[in-house]
Amino acid sequence: MASDQSPLEPGEARALLPQVDGWSVSEDCRSIWREFGFSNYYETMAFVNAIAWLAHREDHHPDLVVSYKRCEVRLSTHSIDGLSRNDFICAAKLNALLDAN
């Protein structure tokens, strides 16, 4: 993403949020996040590996917090220090990973 682009305004980010089920906007409107739950560690790590593959393909890398049965994913566009439409596109693709199973 070109660094000359501006981050989404808070209203724009909130307007896009209904398109990505389960995601929330941070209080400062600079990131979106979702916590995914799983039944065991193996499923959690399989999801983390799928995220890694998608992030590499999209060249858009989320921040992850991983524990035994959950993975918190936080998306933002680091080059603009805020949210871009690409964050919402990647969130939808991450949701689709679970829908595919």
Would you give per-residue pLDDT tens digits along the chain (101 residues)? 445 689 999 999 999 999 999 999 999 999 999 999 999 999 999 999 999 999 999 999 999 999 999 999 999 999 999 999 999 999 999 999 988 66
Q: Closest Cα partner for 73 from 92, 59, 101, 99?
A: 92
Residue 101 has what pLDDT?
A: 61
State pTM to two decimals. 0.91
Domains of the chain: 11-99 (3.30.1360.20)
Cβ contacts of 58 within 8 Å, gap of 6 or more: 86, 90, 93
Q: How far apart are CA 55 and CA 28, in angstroms?
A: 24
